[in-house]
Amino acid sequence: MRRARFHLLLLYSLVLFIGSCSHKTGALKFKNGKEIVSTLDSLFTELETASTHPDEFPLIYINEQIRGVIEGIGSPRIVAEIQTKYIAYEHDFSFLLSADRKIALFSWQTHLEKTETRIKNIALYRSNDKMVPTSLYGIPFIYNGIHQIEMDNSDATYLLEGRDSLKNILSYHLHAYLLKNDHIEEAPLFPDFQSSITAKVRADSVKMGEPSGIVIKNKGQRIQIASVYGSSQWNSLAFDGKKYVSDQGVELNSPPHFSKGRTGIPVPSCSTIP
């Protein structure tokens, strides 16, 4: 049984290697964004079907196929066409495009949570007249927002917002990236020179609707992070043109994005907030 599993793993590894090589040689070509959205929809249908079976190798293979399609997108024109064809909540993947159309994000549920394999989220960033793919740092999760902020030095800076869950804990993430010299990199904008912050809340305290452990206001000029979930006490970060500085204990009239009567306490987190 163990030998058969090894041979199966070897076979899938070979298939993934061949597929990877074909992606790099430009074998995957699409005429427009409509073809890409249609191809991705078909692959995600296959992924959902494969997720009902215990074997992880088809899941790995299909996820790599999805990566190959996304990494083959090299044209800003096609990215813009994807935006026109993509309708939020009608697909099994998330697609986001920044306001200046220089960063596109793809994220999805890989169904690999119970395995040792991790498929990174993919970003496409504008470099000259092309869109270049890159894997984003950290654990994969579903992105739901891109926020551009204005720096004193005019560098293009973005806050990528997302969420994931583990058992009864919801984690809200915010990652800062900088697009400079036609290259994307992490930006240490948060306290203690961190490039990301995370807030965690218990899932059983949010049954009444979609909460937000992190709230972005005034086009990224202020970020509020739940201190005591459901109360008016929030940690606050203000942007000074170069970085975010702590402005602790800001009292709000009401917690943003929360319904009255909702209760619960967040799991102690936000390690980047003193």
Q: Which pLDDT value is given to residue 203?
A: 65
The answer to whether residue 59 scores a pLDDT higher than 70 is yes
Query: Which tokens hold the place of 151?
Result: 């720096």
User: What percent of the residues of the chain are helix, what percent strand, and what percent coil, each to the nearest 5?
Assistant: 25, 30, 40
Q: What is the chain's mean pLDDT, rounded?
A: 77
Domain spans, the chain: 1-140, 142-274
CB 269 within 8 A of CB 200: yes
CB 126 within 8 A of CB 101: yes
Task: Determine phi and psi for 147, rounding to 5 degrees.
Answer: -120, 125
pLDDT mean over 243-265: 47
* 210 or 141, greater pLDDT: 141
Picking from 62-66, 73-77, 145-149, 257-261, which range would have the lowest pLDDT averaged per residue? 257-261
The answer to whether residue 238 scores a pLDDT higher than 60 is yes
The answer to whether residue 47 scores a pLDDT higher than 50 is yes
The answer to whether residue 49 scores a pLDDT higher than 50 is yes
246 band by pLDDT with thresholds 50, 70 and 90: confident
The answer to whether residue 109 scores a pLDDT higher than 50 is yes
pLDDT in tens, 111-122: 988 888 888 889
Instruction: Please give the order of strands across the beta sheet that includes 122-127.
Output: 93-97, 103-108, 122-127, 130-135
Task: Give residue 200's identity as a one-letter amino acid code.
Answer: K
pLDDT in tens, 122-138: 999 999 899 999 998 87
**Residues β-bridged to residue 36:** none
Strands 196-202 vs 222-226: parallel, antiparallel or unpaired:
unpaired
186 band by pLDDT with thresholds 50, 70 and 90: very high
Burial class (CB in 10 A: 0-12, 13-18, 19+), 142: middle
pLDDT in tens, 5-45: 444 444 444 444 444 444 443 446 788 999 999 999 999 99
* 230 or 40, greater pLDDT: 40
Report the range out of 75-84, 162-171, 179-188, 254-263 with the highest average pLDDT. 75-84
